[in-house]
Structure 1
Amino acid sequence: MTVVVAYSADVYGKAALEFGATEASRRGERLVVVNDTKGDAYVDKRLAAEQEIDALRAELSRLDVETEVRQDMVPDVAEAVLAVAAESSATLIVVGVRPRSPVGKLLLGSVAQRIILDARCPVLAVKPDDAG
């Protein structure tokens, strides 16, 4: 069994990772951190740089559970997270959520929203403490 974290290199992803790591340790389950990108922009601020991934792996190695960090270029980030959850028999997906305007909710897709609606296991949406 596995806890999957949809990770982005920002405060929202860090909040999700913190909760996901705690939950994986509490449950005694494997932790898989997914930091994927569509690769459709020159700079994807949510994709962690190589140094950040190395630091993340070092930090996760201190946990008392098996961990894995995945970072791939995929056509659909939400679908990729859901696929990882399915293939790893996830018992929980943790995703960070960010505020969006009403127009943003209408016009723009949300990775978190799609994961919440389409997941076959429970999904926990978290936000950083300072997000209000």
Structure 2
Amino acid sequence: MIILAGYIPTPEGLAAVDAAVAQAQRDNARLVVVNAVHHGNYADPNFAEGRDLDALEKQLAASGVPHEVRQPTEDTAAGDSILNAAREVGADLIVIGLRRRSPVGKLITGSTAQQILLEAECPVLAVKPPA
């Protein structure tokens, strides 16, 4: 089994990785973590820097889960990058983090999350960070 987690250096991204690690440990699965940003924009605050990736790698190594971390830089939307990676590795599950939203904001899911939920060819687990 292969689990793919969408990661950004935020509480939502960390919640996705935590949930994906826990699922991978339960299922004896391989984990692919993807840090994708809108159109490969290195200046985007969601583009993980070296220290973020080092901390992520340390967490994944400590979990004992076989894993790889990808940081695509192609000129595509973040949702497309995650979906492309999921197809490429044959993901059985995609895990994404969701932001807490206001009552009005709940009417509209984030565009990346919405795209993944609607277009993924496998189940998607959406998680929120702890309160």
Task: Give the alignment's TM-score, normalised by structure 1.
Answer: 0.86
2:120 corresponding residue in structure 1: 119
Q: How far 1:18 moved relative to its partner?
A: 0.3
Label 1:104 to 1:66 Cα distance change in 2 as closer, same or farther (>3 A).
same
Secondary structure of 1:61's counterpart equals helix
| Aligned positions of 1:31-42 closer than 5 A | 31-38=31-38
| Aligned positions of 1:1-132 closer than 5 A | 1-38=1-38, 43-74=43-74, 75-100=76-101, 102=104, 110-130=111-131
* Whole-angstrom CA distance in 2 between matches of 1:34 and 1:40: 12
* Whole-angstrom CA distance in 1 between matches of 2:62 and 2:128: 24
Q: Between Structure 1 and Structure 2, how many residues are aligned?
A: 129
* Contact 1:3 1:31 survives alignment (8 Å): yes
Identity of counterpart residues, as a percentage? 40
* Contact 1:38 1:73 survives alignment (8 Å): no
Structure 1: unaligned runs, 5 residues or longer: none
Q: How far 1:65 moved relative to its partner?
A: 2.2
Structure 2: unaligned runs, 5 residues or longer: none
Label 1:7 to 1:40 Cα distance change in 2 as closer, same or farther (>3 A).
closer
* Whole-angstrom CA distance in 2 between matches of 1:31 and 1:85: 11
Task: Give the alignment's TM-score, normalised by structure 2.
Answer: 0.87
